[in-house]
Amino acid sequence: MHLHDLWFFVIALLWVGYFFLEGFDFGVGILTRVLARGETERRVLLNTIGPVWDGNEVWLVTAAGATFAAFPDWYATLFSGFYLPMFVILLCLILRGVAFEYRHKRDGERWKRNWEAIVFVTSLVLAFLWGVLFAAMVHGLPIGADHEYHGGPAELVQPYALLGGVTTTVLFTFHGAVFASLKTMGSIRHRARHLAQKAGVLTVLLLLAFLTWTQVDTGNVRSLVAEAVAVLAVLVSLGFNFGAREGRAFVASGLSVVASTAMLFLALFPQVMPSSLNAAWSLTAANAAAGSYTLGIITWVAGFATPLVLLYQGWTYWVFRKRIGVQHIPVTAHAPSAPAGVRRPPAWR
Amino acid sequence: MYLALAPDTIARWQFGMTTVYHYLFVPLTISLVAITAGLETAYVRTGRTKYFHATKFWGKLFLINIALGVVTGLVQEFQFGMNWSAYSRFVGDVFGAPLAMEALLAFFFESTFIGLWIFGWDKLPKKIHCACIWMVSIGTILSTYFILAANSFMQNPVGFSLDKAAGKAHLTDIGAVLFQKLNLVVVAHTLTAAFLTGAAFVMGISAMHLWRAARLQRRGRPTDLKQVAAMRTSLRLGLVLAVVFGLGTAISGDKLGEVMFEQQPMKMAAAEALWDKEAPAPFSAFSVPDVAHQRNSVDVQVPGLLSFLAHKDFHSAVPGINDTAKAEAAAYGGSPAEYIPNVPMTYWGFRAMILFGMTSFTLGAAGLWLTRRKFWVAPEHRTGSFDVPRLMLTRNRELGAVGAGLAWRAGILTMAFPVIANSFGWIFTAMGRQPWAVTGLLRTVDAVSPNVSLTEQLITLIGFSLLYIALAVVELKLLVKYAGAGPVTTERPPLRDIKLGGASTLEGSPRDADKPLAFAY
């Protein structure tokens, strides 16, 4: 096995990790509008992902950085090709990150509602856009002999890519609902479970449609197995969810995210960005890769760092393993107010 | 007019704008997290509440900052692929490696432990909670190191071989990239400057609170003594750090100048507006570069000083802009004029950096002198640790009302100086290496994405600008609000230390299980 093939799978793994982790926090973000009744419940949901979303997002940073190092051509074509969608993704990531941190920093009703709306909208858009981009990438794009993308943003508006976007949105919502039912208590937990039940049925249908289309389009035996696993995992998750075995249901919903992401990469391999103009112009793991020296170096670094990352990120989840309910949400906001009796003159006088 | 907008112009504007903006938050983040970690360590070791209040206070300001620092960093990573795809193809092999290392070794650290620190006050034992913020601090510093290694490669490419046929640079020696002399010095300079930034920030905000407390006291109004205590400690800490890291910045800056004279003579010649080779070379204190005639229309000089800065003696020759441009034209083709960076920008960027940086150092030193609590001052004139420090000049004597007012004001103003210095420093170092994206290997004009249209570029430039302006307003408002409110002294540290794995489960007492979280979004 060549190092660049190994690195194809490392990058796939990073995306799998990203979608597994940020998948449920996108889902929870979407649920703040769908599931939560009132501000306190919205805060319960936000706080289930509060301690971990930042760590989850690093999987994306690492996926992009590793692609830059291991496959400079893939990185260059992907990011410049999807110029405007990437711009929208960046806007959403910026606003979403800021929204989590700034929402509770002021007391005003409008301030909070605006940031809550931003969490919902950006989670929705991100869940959708990643699906569209990945579907478009697997399906093939007008890539020229120079490895440059020769199409416009309109290239993404195709039924297959849009179906991909809808599928990831629903899948992540399902994954998020299962996570929410695992991490909350009281009535919101039960409602999350019921919602997961409905979203799960829709997820099975969409996954079946989208992954089968992918399979017919570019599939092979391995991707067929991954597809079967992905769909079965949702069914298993639904079963556990029905029996209120939330931990197991979450493992299974995570497995379906893992398997469907893996399915896309297995359908892609050994290409990384197939060209729809001429198969000879496609970017492959071999022709887009960095030199073997660079690959060797980052293999060592990744081999050292990955277990460490999994260890301390796993520990974070363990520290915050407790369920949260409305009773855990402190009534007082963290915004500072002057103690009574002390009137402060402004600093500039 | 439309023709004047070449794709590389927009891409450059976007890069400059997003980088300078990103870098408004980075130095403050690096230093504030270390300062918070130091204060929390002091709290864990002594158990004194003033350290607890100070930790919470600076920690909160740090969090407001890092939120923007992290998300704008995403733009930095993505735009190499979006706007500079030719660059990414050409040097991805070399440049990507430190970037990937940063993500794997540093950024994961930072982001994971931040979550633990923010939400972990009532979930983790004190010492482990404190260790978490140190982890974040180590993460930010490692991050700085890897990113600067990548940047130093652009300034002075090493450890690679050129594959002309494929049009790619291949990494051959990662050690050379990570440990080249330039990078080591740049890291030292950047980190010391970052700590100077944080020091000035801490110093300014503490000064603001203490000044306010002094005026309240003078009017006989009640003051929050716990707040005074926390701010007093912070002020001294800020002043000491400003002096230590101000000196560090100057020393590392001098060393960096020396390395750059050797590796990037054009940048330094432009920084000095030195058009022709001179021996001994004078240091220009003030000049008005006249680019069209390749000379300075006004020039106030200190003879021999530039020779000293470059070579540590007062008479060695320093090559000028014209000589260097001619040499580069001979080596890479074209006319010498193509190799001259924007001289006035480089010249004034360099000076603004030094001026603003050193002003903060000087003010730090002055403040340290003014707020000292000497053992030989008569006991009745000494200030206790809950008093607003008097601004003393000599034994038993205070600075007058006017002088004290000016001194506090200067302390507050200092907050902004290192931030300005940092911005000019990056503008100087990036513009001084033009026309090269990677010195000697790849020109900036050849580095842009060939397939991205001008319209697309304009959309993102305008989009990012508007978003960044809006976020700057929000961030500034929050900072002013939280900094202005001061430490929340009603907040009490957790009474008993938590056992790891104990209090966090549902098996505890029912009352414990329903206790509100110490921190929640």
pLDDT mean over B387-414: 79
Q: Which residues of B touch A323 (CB under 8 A)?
A: 506
Which of A19, A288, A273, A285 shows the shortest CA–CA distance to A137?
Answer: A273
Q: What b/e readout covers B462-488, taking b as 16+ CB neighbours within 10 angstroms?
A: eebeebbeebeebbeebbeebbbbbbb
d(CA B521, CA B517): 10
B342 shares its domain with B461: no
pLDDT tens digits for B246-264? 999 999 998 898 898 888 8
pLDDT tens digits for B366-393? 888 888 776 666 666 677 777 777 776 6
Residues of chain A with pLDDT > 70, as a percent, come to 95
Q: Is it the case that residue A222 has pLDDT exceeding 50? A: yes
Out of B101, B116, B451, the one facing A51 most closely (by C-beta) is B116
Domain range for B171: 23-179+453-488
Residue at token pair 């508007």: B466
Within-domain flag for B385: yes
Within-domain flag for B505: no
Residues of chain A with pLDDT > 90, as a percent, come to 56
Shortest distance between the Cα of B515 and any Cα of chain A, in A, equals 6
pLDDT class of B507 with cuts at 50, 70, 90 = very low
B169 shares its domain with B263: no
Instruction: Please state at what angle helix A159-183 crosses helix A187-218, rounded to 10 degrees.
Output: 150
d(CA B286, CA B291): 15
Q: What is the pTM of this model?
A: 0.89
pLDDT mean over B77-96: 90
Q: Which residues of A touch B89 (CB under 8 A)?
A: 72-73, 76, 147
Among B428, B451, B474, where does a domain finish?
B451
- A342 to B222: CB separation less than 8 angstroms, yes or no: yes
Q: Is it the case that residue B319 has pLDDT exceeding 90? A: no
Confidence (pLDDT) at B510: 53
Domain ranges of chain A: 3-192+270-328
B408 shares its domain with B459: no
**Alpha helix ranges (H) inside chain A:** 3-34, 38-49, 53-70, 72-81, 83-102, 109-139, 159-183, 187-218, 221-242, 246-268, 292-319
pLDDT class of A345 with cuts at 50, 70, 90 = very low
Tell me which H or E stretch contains B202: helix B181-218
Which of A107, A169, A184 shows the shortest CA–CA distance to A133?
Answer: A169
B301 shares its domain with B409: yes
Which of A64, A298, A217 shows the shortest CA–CA distance to B174?
Answer: A298
Within-domain flag for B377: yes
Confidence (pLDDT) at B377: 67
d(CA A252, CA A255): 5
Confidence (pLDDT) at B420: 93
Q: Is it the case that residue A340 has pLDDT exceeding 70? A: no
Bigger pLDDT: B133 vs B497: B133
Within-domain flag for B425: yes
Q: Is it the case that residue A339 has pLDDT exceeding 70? A: no
Within-domain flag for B157: yes
Q: Which are the contacts of B449, defined by CB distance < 8 A and separation ≥ 6?
A: A76, A80, A83, B7, B11, B82, B83, B84, B85, B86
Confidence (pLDDT) at B502: 55
Within-domain flag for B516: no
d(CA A102, CA A328): 20
Out of B71, B115, B463, the one facing A55 most closely (by C-beta) is B115
Q: Is it the case that residue B100 has pLDDT exceeding 80? A: yes
- What average pLDDT does chain A have? 88
B173 shares its domain with B267: no
Confidence (pLDDT) at B4: 62
Q: Is it the case that residue A342 has pLDDT exceeding 50? A: no
Task: For residue A271, list its beta bridge partners.
Answer: A284
B83 shares its domain with B119: yes
Confidence (pLDDT) at A4: 86
Bigger pLDDT: A144 vs A349: A144
Tell me which H or E stretch contains B443: strand B442-443
pLDDT tens digits for B29-80? 999 999 999 999 999 999 888 899 999 999 999 999 998 998 999 999 999 9
B268 shares its domain with B400: yes
Q: Is it the case that residue A346 has pLDDT exceeding 50? A: no
Bigger pLDDT: B510 vs B267: B267
Which DSSP state fits A285?
A: T
Q: Is it the case that residue B396 has pLDDT exceeding 60? A: yes
pLDDT mean over A6-19: 92
CB under 8 A, 24+ apart: contacts of A153-161: A153/A83, A153/A84, A153/A85, A153/B456, A156/A82, A156/A85, A156/A132, A160/A135, A160/A136, A160/A213, A160/A217, A161/A132, A161/A133, A161/A135, A161/A136
- Contact residues, B window 60-89, toward A, CB-based 8 Å cutoff: 63-64, 67-68, 70-72, 74-75, 77-78, 80-83, 85-86, 88-89
HEC profile for B294-310?
Answer: CEEEEEEEECCHHHHHH
B339 shares its domain with B439: yes
d(CA B343, CA A269): 50
B357 shares its domain with B293: yes
Among B451, B477, B506, where does a domain finish?
B451
The answer to whether B223 contacts chain A (CB < 8 Å) is: yes
B355 shares its domain with B463: no
B426 shares its domain with B481: no
Residue A331 is encoded by which pair of tokens? 């009534």
d(CA A176, CA A262): 19
Shortest distance between the Cα of B503 and any Cα of chain A, in A, equals 10
Residue A127 and residue A40 in contact, taking contact as beta carbons nearer than 8 Å: no
Above 0.85 for ipTM, yes or no?
yes
For A212-216, B234-238, B346-350, B377-381, which range has the lowest pLDDT when averaged over its residues?
A: B377-381
pLDDT mean over A208-237: 90
Quote the number of domains for chain B: 2
pLDDT mean over A95-108: 89
Residue of B nearest to A290 (CA): B93
Out of B75, B120, B517, the one facing A319 most closely (by C-beta) is B120
B298 shares its domain with B408: yes
- A301 to B100: CB separation less than 8 angstroms, yes or no: yes
